[in-house]
Amino acid sequence: MRQIILDTETTGLEPSQGHRIIEFAGLEMINRKLTGRHLHLYMHPEREIDPDAERVHGISLDFLADKPKFRQVVSEIADFLRDAELIIHNAPFDVGFLNAEFARVGIEPIEQLCANVIDTLREARDMFPGKRNSPGCVVRPL
The residue with greater pLDDT, 96 or 128, is 96
pLDDT of 136: 52
Residue 69 contacts residue 50 (beta carbons within 8 Å):
no
Region 118-130 average pLDDT: 87
The tens digit of pLDDT for each residue in 5-39 reads 999 999 999 999 999 999 999 999 999 999 999 99
Span 2-137 CATH architecture: 2-Layer Sandwich (3.30)
Average pLDDT in the chain: 93
Which pLDDT score, from 0 to 100, does residue 134 have? 64
Please provide residue 3's backbone torsions phi and psi, each rounded to the nearest 5 degrees.
Answer: -125, 150
Q: What is the DSSP string of 101-114?
A: HHHHHTPPPHHHHS
- pLDDT computed for residue 129 by the predictor: 84
Interatomic CA distance for residues 8 and 17, integer angstroms: 17
Angstrom distance (rounded) from CA 110 to CA 133: 24
| Per-residue confidence (pLDDT) for residue 132, from 0 to 100 | 74
What is the pLDDT averaged over residues 36-50?
Answer: 98
**Strand-pair partners of 118:** 87
Every domain of the chain and the residues it spans: 2-137
Rounded Cα distance, 71 and 40, in Å: 15
